[in-house]
């Protein structure tokens, strides 16, 4: 018979291995890349992409293999930040002021701050360029971002890139001041994140690193493109090169966490914001659809979670999870209380992190491409049907653990047919009816929340205006990392 002390020791070991109890608040680093799909990783079977550091992270992590976001970027970002479905934040597009996250939303950064965390963002915000919508007003202490939905983008409304900015040496808004950086955009974002982490590592921190790469335009140093010139053609060459550059930065991040003795105290998360923009032309994990699609390939993305000694490595969780689940999950890791009366769509993934076979109630979850035209918008975007109600059944899907309803009359058994090859709607009319009923209820709920549909487009361009004013009054300082 084992001694009492031996039993206690065994229990403690099992607790660590199984993730039964998290006694301390981890630092949290969340890296989210832009337009990288589930198949754009060597660890997911890509035939030639070079991602050794992400492959290493894969082996060290619990991986969610049925994790879904939105078909495009701003909607995903709003769900991640708010814990609510994108349309409930008024985010129905990526431009035309329909990318602005409603001011009624509470952000995960605000919640983490209540638990004693300091918070920083490094990269792409894309939830409103007007001052009231900026991350410094939404719970972030350290802000290091580019404007608009991408470096160099300009659209009617407040989105407008600073003149002369580019993927190399971009202009960045750093805590209210426009600075001129030196280097490639992804490198710059990781270097500033590391600078900040080094300065704040003595207290719990939340570092959100949403890269703009590998979003187009597809620009990267020639040495990365040369890796793929004999493997693929066109934009895909640079697209894959941009991912390998991201991978190198992930390697740097993980090395510094080791060097600074932070790895064991840090929850490191990697994910992407929608399906692949270019990689699906080469390898798409057998899925149908890519970025912008309401099929599996438009929404299924990687989710890796590493916390050495606390989260079990090399484990796959195959239960259906969504982007808005991360809000309550991170709050639970941090020991933060959720805001009273704030209604979440997400639920904490903690039970599945602790035990992939835990009870997990099935649920219906909705996808919608959005992106209908807007009255008053210039060109083709202002023509045709601009009534959201008429877009209700265009580009939508409903999922649960077994089924994906794609449109009104396409039903796929995802368990048996993950590539969506066999439409079984006619054989399962009851399933179709039930999923359409759930979708109707969801649409009724979100309709009053589409707060950006009539937002005016005759606005100023805050980033451009600040740049011009600052340049005339005090100049544009140069940025230097200090990690």
Q: Which residues are marked as active site?
A: 73, 126
Which positions ≥6 away from 403 have C-beta within 8 Å?
Answer: 411, 412, 413, 414, 428, 431, 435
Beta pairing class for 118-124 and 365-368: unpaired
Q: In this structure, are residues 37 and 275 in contact, taking their beta carbons and an 8 Å threshold?
A: yes
Residue 447 dihedral angles phi and psi, to the nearest 5°: -55, -45
Q: What is the Cα–Cα distance from 289 to 425, expressed in whole angstroms?
A: 19
Residue 478: strand, helix, or coil: strand
| Residue/partner pairs of 281-284 with CB below 8 Å, 24 or more apart | 281/232, 281/236, 282/46, 282/47, 282/231, 282/232, 282/236, 282/240, 283/39, 283/40, 283/45, 283/46, 283/47, 283/49, 284/37, 284/38, 284/39
In angstroms, the CA 384 to CA 373 distance is: 7
Task: Please count the CA atoms within 13 angstroms of the CA of 101 that sit on its side-chain side.
Answer: 27
Torsion of CA 155, 186, 51, 233, to 10 degrees: 50
Question: Which residues, other chains included, contact 216 with Cβ-Cβ below 8 Å and sequence gap of 6+?
Answer: 35, 150, 235, 239, 277
Q: In the structure encoding, which two tokens stand for residue 36, read together?
A: 């990288």
Six-digit token string for 336: 């933060």
């Amino acid at each position: 018979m084992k001694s009492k002390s031996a039993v206690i020791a065994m229990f403690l070991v099992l607790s660590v291995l199984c993730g039964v109890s998290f006694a301390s608040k981890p630092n949290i680093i969340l890296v989210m890349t832009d337009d990288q799909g589930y198949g754009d990783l060597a660890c997911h079977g890509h035939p030639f992409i070079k991602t050794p550091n992400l492959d290493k992270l894969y082996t060290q992590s619990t991986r969610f293999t049925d994790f879904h976001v939105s078909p495009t970027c701003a909607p995903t970002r709003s769900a991640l930040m708010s814990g609510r479905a994108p349309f409930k934040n008024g985010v129905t597009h990526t431009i035309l002021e329909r990318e602005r996250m409603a001011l009624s939303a509470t952000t995960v950064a605000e919640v983490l701050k209540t638990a004693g965390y300091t918070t920083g963002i490094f990269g792409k915000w894309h939830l409103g360029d007007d001052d009231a919508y900026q991350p410094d007003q939404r719970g972030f202490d350290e802000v290091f971002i580019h404007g608009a939905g991408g470096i160099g983008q300009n659209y009617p409304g407040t989105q407008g890139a600073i003149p002369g900015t580019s993927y190399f040496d971009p202009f960045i808004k750093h805590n209210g001041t426009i600075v001129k950086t030196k280097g490639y955009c992804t490198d710059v974002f990781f270097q500033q994140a590391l600078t900040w982490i080094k300065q704040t590592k003595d207290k719990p921190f939340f570092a959100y690193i949403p890269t703009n790469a590998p979003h187009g335009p597809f620009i990267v140093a020639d040495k990365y493109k040369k890796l793929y010139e004999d493997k693929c053609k066109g934009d895909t060459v640079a697209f894959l090169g941009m991912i390998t550059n991201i991978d190198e930065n992930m390697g740097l991040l993980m090395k510094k966490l080791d060097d600074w003795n932070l790895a064991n105290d840090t929850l490191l998360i990697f994910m992407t914001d929608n399906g692949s923009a270019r990689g699906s032309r080469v390898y798409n994990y057998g899925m149908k659809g890519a970025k912008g699609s309401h099929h599996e390939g438009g929404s299924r993305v990687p989710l890796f979670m590493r916390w050495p000694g606390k989260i079990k490595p090399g484990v796959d969780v195959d239960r259906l999870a969504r982007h808005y689940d991360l809000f309550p999950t991170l709050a639970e890791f941090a020991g933060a209380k959720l805001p009273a009366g704030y209604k979440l769509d997400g639920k904490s993934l903690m039970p599945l992190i602790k035990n992939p076979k835990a009870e997990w109630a099935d649920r219906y979850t909705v996808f919608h491409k959005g992106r209908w035209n807007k009255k008053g918008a210039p060109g083709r975007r202002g023509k045709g049907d601009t009534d959201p109600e008429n877009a209700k059944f265009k580009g939508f899907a409903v999922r649960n653990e077994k089924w994906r309803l794609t449109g009104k009359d396409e039903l796929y058994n995802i368990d048996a047919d993950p590539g969506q090859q066999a439409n079984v709607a006619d054989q399962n009319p009851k399933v179709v009816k039930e999923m359409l009923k759930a979708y109707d209820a969801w649409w009724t709920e979100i309709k009053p929340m589409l707060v950006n549909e009539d937002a005016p487009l005759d606005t100023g361009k805050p980033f451009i205006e600040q740049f011009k004013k600052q340049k005339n009054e005090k100049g544009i300082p140069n940025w230097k990392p200090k990690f």
